[in-house]
């Protein structure tokens, strides 16, 4: 997933040449364009030094701005260009429009389109996270990967029992140590036993990796004063724990660059869609933009907050009463999650603990 969208301070009138880059793991296709629409395209290896040498040779004493799409190559090119004194935008692919009638797509055309949009001032950059937030993001993504693997193994075990007509051990909580012990000792055919043991071993490994990664996230945050302080403040909000707090920081990045609370809500995909014209106003479901896993965690935090915080309880009940029964709980809890973002914004921007009223 990509970072939050921010306006960048690149003003086209301040630059002579605009470089649009199409980047993959081996190559860079670059198109350079000036204000007179003169364009020059080139193909080169993925090497920032090669790119910098090229522009120094062909565009001496000219101010150059670069842009490229965010992708799997990460921010290494951005780091090297900015370190060398060249401004660079990293744009979300979804924010680079394509003409409806365009039926030909090549790397050269992509780089040309980026250069044209950069020259026209139509590109917006994502916020490129600083190294501490990037490293935290790696850890958070790794934990979510292992959680997903654990859930997948549980589903496969349940599917095996359903297919073979076996009775899953009854318990209030389906995956307690007692249940896992019963599964390990359950008498069944040798082939089924082998498959079940393999799935249980995979589940155990994934769960251990989740715990180890969570410990590493805590260790990493404790050794960074800014991250540690932000997590301490965030966890004072009822419903927000260390897991959600660390995921929030990993995705948001530098909280100082958040302009307003609506920007944060929009980034988390918790604002309603809108299709309004004239006097007609139509708002639909939430946009679901941004990191879906983080949004799910915030909804889970919202359920906890309505049990811990009387203000949230009252707010949830008030919103729930406004909607039909079949939609009431879902809409109300999303509204609570959106209200949580306002508290998150205040706590981060003011760098203080949350005080329950």
pLDDT by residue for the chain (357 residues), tens only, comes to 455 544 456 888 999 999 999 999 899 999 999 998 788 899 999 999 999 999 999 999 899 999 999 988 889 999 999 999 999 999 988 778 777 777 788 889 999 999 999 999 888 888 888 899 999 999 999 999 999 999 999 999 999 999 999 889 888 888 999 999 999 999 889 999 999 999 999 999 999 999 999 999 999 999 999 999 999 999 999 999 999 999 999 999 888 888 888 888 888 888 877 676 666 766 767 777 778 899 999 999 999 999 999 999 999 999 999 988 888 999 999 999 999 999 999 999 999 999 877
**Does 95 lie in the same domain as 11?**
yes
Q: Which pLDDT belongs to residue 221?
A: 96
The answer to whether position 109 is within a domain reads yes
**Does 248 lie in the same domain as 169?**
no
The answer to whether position 355 is within a domain reads no
Q: Which pLDDT belongs to residue 219?
A: 97
Q: Which pLDDT belongs to residue 300?
A: 95
Its pTM stands at 0.86
Domain range for 95: 5-126
Which of 73, 91, 126 is a domain's end point?
A: 126
**Does 59 lie in the same domain as 28?**
yes
Q: Which pLDDT belongs to residue 1?
A: 46
**Does 146 lie in the same domain as 117?**
no
The answer to whether position 36 is within a domain reads yes
**Does 150 lie in the same domain as 83?**
no
Q: Which pLDDT belongs to residue 273?
A: 77
Total domain count for the chain? 3
**Does 22 lie in the same domain as 101?**
yes
**Does 163 lie in the same domain as 102?**
no
Q: Which pLDDT belongs to residue 276?
A: 67
- Count Cβ atoms within 10 A of the Cβ of residue 89 and give its class: 0-12 exposed, 13-18 middle, 19 or more buried: buried
**Does 240 lie in the same domain as 173?**
no
**Does 151 lie in the same domain as 116?**
no
């Amino acid at each position: 997933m990509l970072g939050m969208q921010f306006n960048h301070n690149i003003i086209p009138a301040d630059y002579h040449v605009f470089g649009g880059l199409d980047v993959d793991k081996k190559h860079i296709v670059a198109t350079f364009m000036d204000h007179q629409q003169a364009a020059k395209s080139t193909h080169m290896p993925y090497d920032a030094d090669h790119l910098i040498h090229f522009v120094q040779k062909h565009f001496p004493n000219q101010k150059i701005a670069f842009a490229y799409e965010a992708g799997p190559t990460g921010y290494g090119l951005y780091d090297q260009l900015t370190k060398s004194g060249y401004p660079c935008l990293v744009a979300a692919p979804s924010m680079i429009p394509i003409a409806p009638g365009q039926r030909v797509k090549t790397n050269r055309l992509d780089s040309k389109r980026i250069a044209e949009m950069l020259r026209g001032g139509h590109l917006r950059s994502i916020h490129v996270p600083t190294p501490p937030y990037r490293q935290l993001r790696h850890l958070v993504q790794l934990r979510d990967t292992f959680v997903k693997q654990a859930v997948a193994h549980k589903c496969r075990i349940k599917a095996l029992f359903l297919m073979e007509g076996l009775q899953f051990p009854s318990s209030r909580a389906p995956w307690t140590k007692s249940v896992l012990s019963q599964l390990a000792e359950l008498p069944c055919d040798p082939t089924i036993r082998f498959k079940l043991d393999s799935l249980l071993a995979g589940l155990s490994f994934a769960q251990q990796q989740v715990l180890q990664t969570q410990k590493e996230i805590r260790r990493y945050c404790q050794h960074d004063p800014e991250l540690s302080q932000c997590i301490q403040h965030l966890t004072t909000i009822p419903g927000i724990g260390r897991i959600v707090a660390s995921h929030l920081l990993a995705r948001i990045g530098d909280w100082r660059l958040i302009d307003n609370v609506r920007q944060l809500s929009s980034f988390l995909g918790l604002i309603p869609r809108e299709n309004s014209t004239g006097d007609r106003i139509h708002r639909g479901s939430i946009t679901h933009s941004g990191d879906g896993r983080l949004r799910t965690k915030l909804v889970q935090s919202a359920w906890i907050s309505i049990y811990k915080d009387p203000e949230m309880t009252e707010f949830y009940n008030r919103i729930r009463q406004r909607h039909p029964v079949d939609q009431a709980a879902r809409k109300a809890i999303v509204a609570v999650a959106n209200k949580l973002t306002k508290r998150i914004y205040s706590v981060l921007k003011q760098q203080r603990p949350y005080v329950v009223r």
